[in-house]
Structure 1
């Protein structure tokens, strides 16, 4: 395969002391942790600026591939960026127009029926006490009844407060709503200029860094673009797809809160790992209040939608972002949520992916040892070598040999030949292992062996039961 930019030279294997290598790894890990904490704290403390930058950056990352594609078709870059921005806005407006009306209607119905649902929960619990008498201790029963009553009162009071807030504070929050609209508009303007001029900005930053550091600056920006930009684009696409699948599925089973459930599923899908769990719990509660069977069907619909999104769509769209181990994702989400709240939780995984790529580059560049592999855990990605067998930290960090060909961050006039290592036939796959185990018990040979063994055992038992001859 052909990559780009020969200045990201190969690194021959070098011999260093064990303590020096351990020191490099330790300091690299400490540096990554420190940068992660500083970035999350900074993002959480300047939320308004982050809102503007987040809107501009996300929209620019979404527009960048279409802008680059139009530029390759001889369309001027300024016009390409404008066309890409208009296309993204049309898709966004169409999606909002599709879900706005059912979302508002179903939310109002839910708020209106909140007291009724609270009474239903109380009646269900009381009926359970009377029918099954599950708890004989009167003290425990009174405590549980008190908790249920308080929860019901809390739900009723929440619904009342929501109605009062909508009626009394709507006018007072017009200014805040206007600020958000202004931030959104300015974010779109920023997105246009970023999508149009980011190749020039990168070249200027490389000039500022100097001839000795311009390669590293370009590489760091490339890693940031691939990890953060690719992850955000992929997350938005998969979130919309998951929400639409959940909405269509709930419509098919005639769930009265199909629009609300689809919106909740799509929005919470942005929060990795824990988002789908919370959305499934909320949808299950809303559906069980209608009927237990509807709750079961709704849960089945959400499981199918989540599996289709994760196993069919995600492998395709997530190919543009760096892989992150689930354990590393959980640690990043916990740290990001503790330091930056919701913003930190959403940005935790792309920042973790970027830090992972930076660590891979500097580790391989300074030690000459290749840490990425097909069967790795924390560093599972594609390893690259040149014709002489030397590793290429830049390609290992990006995990994509075609990225240099499609990006505008690197000069295409200089090239280097690299090839991805041949992927092994056997890969670690839990599903395949489980299927293999079950297949051992279901094959005709095993069934025949089991029948033969059972026949032999029965004959032995019959012989042992016969009376012995004297």
Structure 2
């Protein structure tokens, strides 16, 4: 009678099975996490917005604290500053889009007509989209006006969400010095150092992304807006505002806003000026891709463009435009945690010094 082998499966198969089990477990945990986030969206969204706002405003708060200002007063001044800046910027952006929105839509309609003359069905589709935009907006406005209760409910929920996020930003800034102690108190004592390192790396990644993206968005909007003003393009301020807002959606936002700016220029200023606008957009994108983005990514976690595009797509499928805005910083935080784990396990696996004896 032949002896029974100790292991029925080869080593490679057992390792593959173990990795499959880990992947399935992680996928299940992520699916449950996403489902819980969608169920408690009214709570999760303000928290995420508050984290992003805290990451963006943290340097200002720390500078005020270093000036020996009370932490609560520093947090309150920081929140008042962000209300003034964001409120003023939102007012300028909305005003610019309202004043120039009609010109932009008319130019897009003319661009669709021009493209339809040369490219047929593609141009006709663009023309239809541009021509129906005003009707769609009018219908949306009429629906919102007719349903006053639902409209007020949506506006009220948005205002409540923004106010809750602002209050959370205040508390996060004021109590940021206690974050490490709180984290250590809720995790096992043996893993306190690891959890602290992971939390710091994730927060640094989000902080670097927010500051870098804001800087890149501002540079793109100023350069493209100034170039469009020089070219005498109608709605230049509105297009610059569109560039600034869409810059928070990496890659995809720049493509969309640049395409709109070029189409508007082609339709209103002709082919020559349109080619100049195309060259301007491409030049700004090259400056962003080869100068600004490397500097920004060198201070945070580097992510491949394919990973960014997949994260944006996943975020859009889960939470629409808000998901597109939140997907990349959350992915940056995840990559920060992964890089910290890799660094720690690589250090633990490295062989120690050899005894010469």
TM-score by length of 2: 0.78
Q: CA RMSD in A?
A: 3.6
Does residue 103 in structure 1 map to residue 97 in structure 2?
Answer: yes
- CA drift at 1:206: 0.9
Does residue 224 in structure 1 map to residue 202 in structure 2?
Answer: yes
Counterparts of 1:299-448 in structure 2, within 5 Å, are 299-366=278-345, 368=347
- Given that 2:46 and 2:161 are in contact with CA atoms closer than 8 Å, whether structure 1 keeps it comes out as yes
- Given that 2:96 and 2:241 are in contact with CA atoms closer than 8 Å, whether structure 1 keeps it comes out as no
Task: Return the structure number with greater relative CO, CA threshold 8 A, min gap 6.
Answer: 1
How far, CA to CA, are the matches of 2:340 and 2:19 in structure 1?
12
Q: What's 2:184 paired with?
A: 206
Equivalent residue of 1:169, what SS? helix
The size of the alignment, in residue pairs, is: 338
- CA drift at 1:197: 0.8
- CA drift at 1:99: 3.3
Structure 2 segments unaligned to the other structure (5+ residues): 1-10
Larger radius of gyration: 1
How far, CA to CA, are the matches of 2:110 and 2:305 in structure 1?
41
Q: Which has the higher helix share?
A: 2
Q: What's 2:69 paired with?
A: 75
Equivalent residue of 1:75, what SS? coil
How far, CA to CA, are the matches of 2:54 and 2:302 in structure 1?
22
- Given that 2:205 and 2:332 are in contact with CA atoms closer than 8 Å, whether structure 1 keeps it comes out as yes
Counterparts of 1:12-411 in structure 2, within 5 Å, are 37-111=31-105, 124-125=117-118, 152-153=127-128, 155-166=130-141, 169-170=144-145, 172=148, 173-290=151-268, 291-366=270-345, 368=347
- CA drift at 1:256: 0.2
Equivalent residue of 1:212, what SS? helix
Equivalent residue of 1:255, what SS? coil
- Given that 1:332 and 1:349 are in contact with CA atoms closer than 8 Å, whether structure 2 keeps it comes out as yes
- CA drift at 1:275: 2.1
How far, CA to CA, are the matches of 2:67 and 2:185 in structure 1?
29
Structure 1 segments unaligned to the other structure (5+ residues): 1-16, 129-143, 372-387, 390-470
Label 1:154 to 1:215 Cα distance change in 2 as closer, same or farther (>3 A).
closer
How far, CA to CA, are the matches of 2:232 and 2:138 in structure 1?
27
TM-score by length of 1: 0.61
Label 1:155 to 1:75 Cα distance change in 2 as closer, same or farther (>3 A).
closer
